[in-house]
Structure formats: C-alpha cells, structure tokens
Amino acid sequence: MEVQFNREQIPFITILPIVLVGILLGEAIELSWIVAAVGVAISAVMLLLFSNRRYIKEVYGVLLILCSALTMTDLRAVESKLPHDTPVEVVMEIRDNSTTTSGGYLRTTAHITAYRGSGDESWAKTREKLFIITPPSAPLALGKLYRAELRVSEIASEGWESYARLMHRRGYTGSAFVGEGAVAEIAGASVSPLLTFGARNQAAAQQTLSKLGLEPGAMAITEAMTIGVRDNITPELRDSYAQSGASHLLAVSGLHVGIVVLLVNTLLRPLLLVRGGHRWRNLIAMAAIWLYTVLTGCAPSTVRAAFMFSGAMYASTQSLNRNPINILLATATVMLLWNPNTLYDISFQMSFMAVLGIALLYRPIYEFGKSSYRATNALWSSTSVAIAATLMTAPILAHTFGLLPIAGVLISPLLVLAAYIVVSVSLVWLILPTDWLAEVCSYVIGGVASLQNRIVEISAEQWWISAEVSLPDWAAIAIYISLIVGFIVYYTLRQTSKTKQQAV
C-alpha cells in the first residue's frame, strides 16, 4: 500500500503529537488530575457547542486531547506510600508466577493492598507493586493473599539506575526479601480468577511444553518465543542474542502475534466459502490474538501488536481504510493514553520504531534490490524487513546500550524463518498435545531451536558483530525528528508528483 501523509488518510498523525506534548507537560508541571479532568469536560462541551465552527472546533479538539493526556499522566504517576528501609507489615496479592533468580532464590511480583508500620494498629490502603524475594523453601502461591513483615528497599543497586527507572515506570516501587518465618497465608482469601487467568494458563502451557523433553537451551528459547517465559535462558545465551542483534526474538511481539493470526487464518480457511465467513474468521482471530496476549503476560510489544492486528482486521471486516501508518499511530495513542509511563519503556520504543521503519522503509528497500528471480526476492524480502527495522531502531540502541548490532541484518532472515517454525509447531502442540504428535513436534522444535541458538552463538563470536556507538538524548531525538520530517516530505512530494502525472 502506498504511504500517504495527510490528515484524511492518517488522522492520528496530528493526534499522537498532541498526546506526547500532554504527557511531557504533565511530567514537567505539578497539576492535579482533577483540574485536568475539568479541562476535559469543558473542552468536550465546547466541542459539541461549536461543532459547526471548523477552527474553533479544532482548538477545543486539541485541548480535549491535551487535557486527557494530562489527566492520565497524573493518575498513572507511580508513587509509593510504603515506608522504605524500615520494618513494615503488608497485605499482598500474588497475581503472577514466580521466577528463579541467578542465585537460586524466587522472585515474585506482589501487589500490595494495605500496610502498617511497626507498632501501628490500623491499616493504610495502597496500590503498589513490589519485587518479593523468597528462599526456595518459602514459595508464594499464585492467586493467594499473604501477610508479611518486610523492609522495602530500592529495586537496584548502584550501576543499575536505568533498570530501576524502567521498573519504576512499570509500576514497581521497591523490592524486599521475605524469610520463611516472616510470611503467612491469609486463610479463606484469594485473588480474583480474572486477575490470574493469564498467569495460570501460562504455567499450564509451560508444563505442556516440558512434556516434549527438549534440551535446556532449545526449551528456554521455545518458552521465551512461544509463551513469553524467559526465566530459563542462561546469561551467556542472552548475551549472544543481544550481541548479534536478535534479542527481539526473545520478546513476544508482532512477529509472534502474526504467527498466531497466520495459524488461525489457515485453520479457519473453509469459512471463506460461507457468506460472511471472512467476518467470522476475523472475529475468531481477534479473540485468539487477545487470548495469546494475556497468555504471554501483556507485554507492551505484544499489546501493541495485538492492537495493530485487531485494528487491521476490524477495518477489513467493516471495509474501512487500512492505512498501516494510521493503525500504528492509533495503537500508540491508545496505549499512551491508557498508561503514559509506556512512553519511557524501551520495549514500547523498540517495537513502535521497528514497525514504523518497516511501514516506511520496507517498500523502497525491497524495490531497490528486487530481481527477476522469485527465490532471491523471497530472501531479499526478509532481509529488507530486517534492514528497515534495524535502521529505525539504531538510534535507540545506540542511546540505551551504546552499540549498534551489525550481524542482525545478515542473519535475520534465517532466524525469522526458524522462529516461525518453532512458534507455529509449538502452538500446534499446545492446541493438540497428543501422544502421536509428541515425537514429531519434539524433533522439529528441538532441532530448529538448537540450530537457531547455534547461529546466534557463532555470530556473537565474530569481532565485527557490533559497533560501539553512544548517542546522548538530544542526538537521538534530533535524528528521529529529522527522519520523520524527511519521510513526510519525501512521500508528500512523491504523491504530488504521482497526482500530477495522472492529471496529465
């Protein structure tokens, strides 16, 4: 599809920048969400009153979006009521599965609902998340409520400040070690099954995958790519993926959601023979997408992909315009309005820029290297996707990690093909875990996953694998502004030239 930069084709090209300004303004000034919400109400009323006055309507439309972003920024601000570095008793809900740290301890996300200081009789309410570290002998069960005595500390030590900031943006206010005798289950109390639905199904899926008996490396990668469980990836293997520019494969994202859509569409292809069957297929595929999103933990990259695919399918069902840029910008707008902290999440930044790069750069890059041979074009198509995504995410990588992966472009076509095979066959196994499929699935998944790991490890051993480049904040922002303005000018001039040629 030809990319067009105009408000008719891409209305969110003007909406998203207003949301960004509102979030940044909300971070910079002290403004109560109540005041901002009043601004939302007033703007909405004035928008209705002046609906037939174009310019006045646009002004109040901008104010409505801006005040909405200000409201959500203040509402979603992560603040801690819990006293730090002092004894405190808490009531906590366990909504997620525990993971094992490199030291052999268990790390669990706990949602704190109430607390009281040492010697206090009354409880104070709060809504916070803590990382709770416990010994293996004192696991915290999913869906249970506990009372615990602990001492809250900062999330990370010196040298890990960027990680601490990221976790703070994700809603964590601290961490605490809880010994075996300092925690007790609250009898008769439990967390709502709706809040633990994803975690319970993720644990069940992990148990089903374990029946295949894969070797540890292959199993770790299969769990990560299929259900979003990355606990069993060794630090060495994780570093190899990072150095070779293939870390995106370990985080469930658009690639993996696309595989789910492809699988569902293939299985439900007979519905196309029925009148209106494409609508039913799209609705079922959308339901499958969101079930998969919940199953894999609702990571920002997965939610972004789920919104994008759902938007495209809804547009197809209703015969609406399916401009990929507009769908991407609309997805980002919804995610940022729901939780403005998402803007500062490296996962969101990487996935958004990767998809934007593919939407803008894939076609020119593919056309540049296209040949008359179908086989080479298929390989060049995958390479073009990798190049487009790599170019658009390069400034973020240089700013955040101080390096630019070079080999990722070269090995990406092979790794993407391997990921498609591993995830597709794993999903088939999760749907039909039968004895007669076990041996076949084990052979295919184990062989391809091991080959993928080997390719990554060999690539990571090469001296030219990556270049050390560090960008300050202002440089990365300037590069992206320049790129986006350049894209808008290029595609606008191209569309204008095309229109003139058609007129002649």
Summarised one tens digit per residue, pLDDT across range 440-466 is: 999 999 999 999 999 999 988 887 777
pLDDT at 258: 82
Length of the chain: 504
Q: Per mean pLDDT, which range of 7-16, 55-64, 136-145 is the poorest?
A: 7-16
Question: Which of these, 93, 96, 162, lies nearest to 128 by C-alpha position?
Answer: 93
pLDDT for 302-320, tens place per residue?
Answer: 877 788 788 777 776 765 5
Answer yes or no: are the C-beta atoms of 470 and 409 closer than 8 Å: no
| CA-based nearest residue to 29, from 68, 59, 73 | 73
What is the pTM assigned to this prediction? Answer: 0.83
Mean per-residue pLDDT, 58-76: 94
**What's the CA angle centered on 203, arms 202 and 209, to 5 degrees?**
90
Q: What is the pLDDT of residue 61?
A: 93
Cα-based torsion angle of the residue sequence 45, 47, 49, 50 in order, rounded to the nearest 10 degrees: 160
The answer on pLDDT for 378 being more than 80 is no
pLDDT value of residue 122: 92
CA 468/CA 393 separation, integer angstroms: 15
* Domain definitions of the chain by residue range: 12-75, 87-192, 215-471
Answer for the pair 422, 226: CB distance below 8 angstroms, yes or no. yes
Of 96-100, 178-182, 317-321, 431-435, give the lowest mean pLDDT range: 317-321
**pLDDT tens digits, residue range 318-377?**
655 567 788 888 888 998 999 999 998 888 888 888 888 888 888 888 888 888 888 788
Residue 181 CB coordination number (10 Å): 8
Question: Which is higher by pLDDT, 461 or 66?
Answer: 66
Chain segment 159-217, per-residue pLDDT in tens:
677 888 888 888 899 999 999 889 999 998 999 998 898 889 889 999 999 999 999 99
pLDDT given for residue 278 in this prediction = 81
Please give the full DSSP string across 1-50, using - where no structure is assigned.
Answer: -----STTT-THHHHHHHHHHHHHHHHHS---HHHHHHHHHHHHHHHHHT
Residue 133 has a pLDDT of 95
The answer to whether 464 and 406 have CB atoms below 8 angstroms apart is yes
C-beta of residue 252 within 8 angstroms of C-beta of residue 300: no
Distance CA 427, CA 227 (A): 9
CATH number, domain 87-192? 2.40.50
Backbone torsions φ then ψ of 433, nearest 5 degrees: -80, 65
The stretch 396-404 carries a mean pLDDT of 83
